[in-house]
């Protein structure tokens, strides 16, 4: 699995006042007075007045906390909607200096950054929620201005939870990073102010960053050894198309850690079909070979080609098992032909098709299928007629051997055409082919290419 770097989302624009507080109903006039004092001090624009302004805002924050607690106890929904809206606007002001430093690349308190984002989003969401809730008498008196303003502010900060996740990861706080990335992914669905159509629009507009966040969740949970959560996050992230290979590696390794061999095998097959990479199937075949599960491998391959007859990877796996595990070369060639009929440029199938012919004839020689080829026996005979008879046997055997290499040749040459810079892949088998077919110049060319590739 390659090292993954967390990227930061683009920061939202600096927080503005939106609508003037004096032009709307106030949840707390006491807090309003403190906020107005803070705003005037901010207008002086020096370090002393800035500190004084922050102190006034902090006093306002304390007042609002107390009044919110009282209103919640009394179930005053209209009051709570106004108080949370007012608190959201105050949190904007408290957050503004932190955000300005972050935007300008100056030092800032990342913990405070994240806390303020929690406060802003929580306040506006609760303002919108209470704005549509029945009061103690069962009546609902929504204020359209509250819902409209809350929606605008929530839309403006949707990406900032992503930044919080990245900040926490940079500080080595993996679980907190997971929590914030999850908040980022869930936020549009959990904000009461957004309609289903608006939620879909938000996800669509930020498709790339939401895909990255889902990937981060899978990876971070894996690092935390939350195997089940990592797998669940992979499944969610795999609905997109970003980082599919790495997501499958996370999922496969998580199943391995769980020692769930059935799910591990199933995921390898799924990964090969989704990505088109044969490396997953090679890992699966190695597992079957190490554990002598030939029948299990055969059954799986047969099942795949029945269920997915138009999938080149299904036929490739069947052929790979026949070639590498069962040594059934004719059957393997038939399977690879099926895969190549679907994709004539399927590189791994081309290589294995050539390998089939080369390994087949090599095994025949080693198994003593020939009288002369593969032995130390010399062609001899008592008399010319007897010698010629034995010579004819030898020539026929040699022609048979060459026919296998001749059949392997076009597959390997096509592989070379497709991957001209990958001499390590095709130069050695092509050298054997050319040498056997007495194509000495071509064989020497392969030797030179292979030597150059090995010296890089």
Q: What is the pLDDT of residues 391-445, one digit of tens each?
A: 999 999 999 999 999 999 999 999 999 999 999 999 999 999 999 999 999 999 9
pLDDT bracket for residue 244 (50, 70, 90): very high
Q: Which residue range(s) make up the domain with 117?
A: 21-224
Is position 440 within any domain?
Answer: no
Q: What is the pLDDT of residues 297-355, one digit of tens each?
A: 899 889 989 999 999 999 999 999 999 889 999 999 999 999 999 999 999 999 999 99
> Could you report how far apart the first and last alpha carbons of the chain are, in Å?
25
For residues 329 and 211, membership in a common domain is answered with no
Number of structural domains the chain divides into: 2
Regarding whether 153 and 39 lie in a shared domain, the answer is yes
The answer to whether 153 and 176 are in contact (CB under 8 A) is no
Q: Based on the fold, state whether residues 187 and 66 are members of the same structural domain.
A: yes
Identify whether the C-beta of residue 432 lies closer than 8 Å to the C-beta of residue 412.
no
- pLDDT the model gives residue 24: 62
Is 9's pLDDT higher than 70?
no
Domain final residue, candidates 188, 209, 224 = 224
442 is a domain residue: no
What is the average pLDDT value for the chain, to the nearest integer?
A: 90
How far apart are the C-alpha atoms of 57 and 54, rounded to whole Å? 5
Same structural domain, 324 and 212: no
- The answer as to whether 69 is a domain residue is yes
Is the Cβ–Cβ distance between 34 and 90 less than 8 Å? no
Number of C-beta neighbours around residue 261 at 10 A: 13
Q: Does residue 384 lie in a domain region?
A: yes
Is the domain of 217 the same as that of 342? no
pLDDT for position 242: 87
Q: What is the CATH number of the domain that holds 328?
A: 1.25.40.10
More confident residue, 276 or 90: 90
Q: Is residue 32 part of a domain?
A: yes
* Alpha-carbon span 347 to 343, nearest angstrom: 9
C-alpha pair distances (Å), 184 with each of 114, 203, 213, 236, 246: 12, 11, 8, 14, 21
Q: Which one of 203, 224, 245 terminates a domain?
A: 224
Is residue 81 within 8 A of residue 127, CB to CB? The reply is yes
55 and 157: one domain? yes
Other residues' Cβ atoms within 10 Å of the Cβ of residue 362: 14
Q: What is the pLDDT of residue 177?
A: 96
Instruction: Say yes or no: 176 and 48 in one domain.
Output: yes
**Same domain assignment for residues 42 and 136:** yes
Q: Are both 87 and 178 inside the same structural domain?
A: yes
DSSP string, 34-95: HHHHHHHHHHH-SHHHHHHHHHHHHHHHHHHHHHHHHHHHHT-HHHHHHHHHHHHHHHHHHH
pLDDT beyond 80 at 16: no
- 338 and 201 fall within a common domain: no
Mean pLDDT on 215-241 = 95
- Residue 276: what pLDDT? 86
424 within a domain of the structure (yes/no): no
Based on the domain organization, do 193 and 305 belong to the same domain?
no
User: Is residue 439, in this structure, part of any structural domain at all?
Assistant: no
**Same domain? 186 vs 309:** no
pLDDT tens, residue by residue, 174-226? 999 999 999 999 999 999 999 999 999 999 999 999 999 999 999 999 999 99
Question: Last residue of some domain: 177, 204, 224?
Answer: 224
In this prediction, residue 175 carries a pLDDT of 95
The answer to the question of residue 428 being in a domain is no
Q: How many angstroms separate the CA atoms of 370 and 373, rounded?
A: 6
Question: What DSSP designation does 13 have?
Answer: P
């Amino acid at each position: 699995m390659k090292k993954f770097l967390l990227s930061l989302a683009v920061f939202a624009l600096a927080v503005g006042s939106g609508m003037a507080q004096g032009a709307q109903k106030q949840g707390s006039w006491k807090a309003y007075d403190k906020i107005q004092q803070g705003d005037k001090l901010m207008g002086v624009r020096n370090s002393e007045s800035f500190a004084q302004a922050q102190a006034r805002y902090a006093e306002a924050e304390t007042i609002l906390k107390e009044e919110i607690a009282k209103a919640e106890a009394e179930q005053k929904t209209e009051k709570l909607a106004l108080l949370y809206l007012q608190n959201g606007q105050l949190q904007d002001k408290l957050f503004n200096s932190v955000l300005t430093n972050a935007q300008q690349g100056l030092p800032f308190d990342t913990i405070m950054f994240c806390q303020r984002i929690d406060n802003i989003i929580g306040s506006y969401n609760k303002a919108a929620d209470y704005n549509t809730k029945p009061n103690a008498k069962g009546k609902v008196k929504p204020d359209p201005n509250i819902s409209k303003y809350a929606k605008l502010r929530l839309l403006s900060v949707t990406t900032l939870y992503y930044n919080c996740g990245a900040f926490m990861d940079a500080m080595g706080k993996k679980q907190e990073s997971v929590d914030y990335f999850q908040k980022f992914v869930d936020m549009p669905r959990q904000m009461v102010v957004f309609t289903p159509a608006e939620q879909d629009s938000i996800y669509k507009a930020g498709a790339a960053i939401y895909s990255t966040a889902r990937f981060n969740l899978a990876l971070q949970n894996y690092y935390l050894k939350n195997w089940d959560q990592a797998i669940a996050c992979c499944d969610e992230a795999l609905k997109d198309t970003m980082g599919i290979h790495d997501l499958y590696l996370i999922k496969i390794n998580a199943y391995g850690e769980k020692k769930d061999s059935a799910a591990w095998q199933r995921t390898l097959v799924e990964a090969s079909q989704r990505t088109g990479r044969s490396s997953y199937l090679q890992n699966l075949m190695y597992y079957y070979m190490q554990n002598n599960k030939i029948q299990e491998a055969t059954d799986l391959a047969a099942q795949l080609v029945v269920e997915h007859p138009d999938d080149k990877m299904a036929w490739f796996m069947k052929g790979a098992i026949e070639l590498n595990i069962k040594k059934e070369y004719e059957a393997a060639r038939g399977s690879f032909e099926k895969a190549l009929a679907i994709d004539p440029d399927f590189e791994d199938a081309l290589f294995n098709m050539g390998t089939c012919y080369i390994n087949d004839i090599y095994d025949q020689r080693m198994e003593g299928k020939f009288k002369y080829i593969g032995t130390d026996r010399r062609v001899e005979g008592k008399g010319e007629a007897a010698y010629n008879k034995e010579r004819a046997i030898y020539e026929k055997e040699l022609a048979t051997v060459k026919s296998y290499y001749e059949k392997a040749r076009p597959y390997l040459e096509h592989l070379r055409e497709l991957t001209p810079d990958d001499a390590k892949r095709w130069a050695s088998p092509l050298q054997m082919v050319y040498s056997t077919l007495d194509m000495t110049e071509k064989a020497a060319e392969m030797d030179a290419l292979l030597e150059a590739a090995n010296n890089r």
